[in-house]
Amino acid sequence: MSAKDYQKDYYKTLGVPKTATAAEIKKSYRELARKWHPDANKGSADAEERFKEITEAYNVLSDEKQRKEYDDARSMFGGFRVPAGGRPGAGGTTFDLGDLFGNGEGLGDVLGGIFRNRPGGGTAASRARRGADVETETTLPFGDAIDGATVSLRLTGEGPCPDCGGTGAKSGTVPKVCPDCHGTGQQSKNLGGFGLSEPCKTCRGRGLVVDDPCPSCSGSGRAMSSRTIQARIPAGVADGQRIRIPGKGAPGERGGKAGDLYVRVHVKPHGVFGRSGDNLTVTVPVTITELALGADIKVPTHRGPAVTVRVKPGSANGIVMSVAGRGVRKKDGTLGDLRATLEVTVPHDLNSKAKSALEDLRIATAGADPREELLRRARQE
């Protein structure tokens, strides 16, 4: 069997469902074979071709072991189809990039395992392998990090070469079982009674050798390509945090589980708001009279209407006012706070009335030097 055989739908050829029993397959084959037998069709080339296809399909599906391998290979390939003699994507064929992210030997080994058809299995290429973990990064706007967002991530990775389907063999040829290790990928040495196993040098542990290498990948069976996935970033993610997305890493091989995707998140700073853990921060300008005499001041909230907070008379510059529930969503679903720092702005362009009012204030508050305590302590230390 060659790679192309797994692109054929034998069930369709025989007109039976995938769940068909051996008896149903046999019955359908007999009917079709009778209909398309060359003797019954006076040498029609079409009929002969059909007859061959039916027989090929029956040969695989009637053999329990071959049928299972065929089913496994097809389910593993998913939408993976390589047009005969052409590049993927040409001629309206589909090519599922998601299948390209095997991290190990790739499709070549999947096929290798089938080509070998060794009783008992257990070759280098037949073991299930979990897909590799993949790491990527993304940059989110400030608000998306707080509310959560679905992002498109473009992942680049090494996968099976699309031209040879990962076999490493030139189009139309298939890799051969390695003659030195008979497909096990291992060579054993006998050292004074000790058996020692090491990767086969001829096939480098792959279990397969290629006579006629694929020109696109020079026989390696590997190629770089990319895919785009949608990933959900949870609400409240912080700058520099790493998000694990299970099952979105490299696909597993031979029935192995897919690896995980790790996304390192960078968050763009906001022009107004900052973050401190689960709390948002904001700096709010106030006048000296608002702090000295007390006032109701408006504080902006992130993606919501401004709220009014009451400033007590005699509040210090730099005082932090908390607005409950206007922060970042926490893991337990509750919300952090908004912390507003009140900062005095000093007027620099005073009209004469304001100037004279401040002069009056200076006279009215003259007395103790506010720096006296500071200067005294500085001398003591």
Query: Which residues contact Zn ion (rule: CB under 5 A)?
Result: 161, 163-164, 178, 180-181, 200, 202-203, 214, 216-217
Chain centroid, CA 16 distance in Å? 37
What are 209's strand-pairing partners? Answer: 176
How would you classify the pairing of strands 320-323 and 338-344? antiparallel
Which is nearer to Zn ion, 182 or 264 (by Cβ)? Answer: 182
Minimum separation from the CB atom of position 196 to Zn ion (A): 16
Q: Are strands 176-177 and 186-191 parallel, antiparallel or unpaired?
A: unpaired
The residue (of 174 and 214) whose beta carbon lies closer to Zn ion is: 214
Question: In angstroms, what is the minimal distance from the CB of 134 to Zn ion?
Answer: 22
Strand intervals (E) in 167-221: 176-177, 186-191, 194-199, 208-209
- Write down the least CB distance from residue 119 to Zn ion, Å: 19
294-333: b (≥16 Cβ within 10 Å) or e: ebebebebbeeeeeebebeeebeeeeebebeebbbbeeee
Query: Hey, how many other C-beta atoms are within 10 angstroms of the C-beta on 73?
Result: 20
Cβ proximity to Zn ion: between 62 and 202 the closer is 202
Which one, 26 or 127, has the nearer CB to Zn ion?
127
CA atoms of 61 and 18, how far apart (whole Å): 10
* Closer Cβ to Zn ion, 174 or 265, answer by number: 174
In whole angstroms, the minimum distance from the beta carbon of 2 to Zn ion comes to: 14
Closer to Zn ion by Cβ: residue 25 or 203: 203
Which residue number, 190 or 351, has a Cβ lying nearer to Zn ion?
190
Q: Smallest distance, Å, CB 222 to Zn ion?
A: 8
Main-chain phi, psi angles of 366, to 5 degrees: -65, 145
Q: Least separation, in Å, of the C-beta of 5 and Zn ion? A: 18
Coil/strand/helix, residue 363: helix
Rounded to the nearest whole angstrom, what is the least distance from the CB of residue 273 to Zn ion in the complex?
52
Residue 353 DSSP symbol: H
Longest alpha-carbon distance in the chain? 124
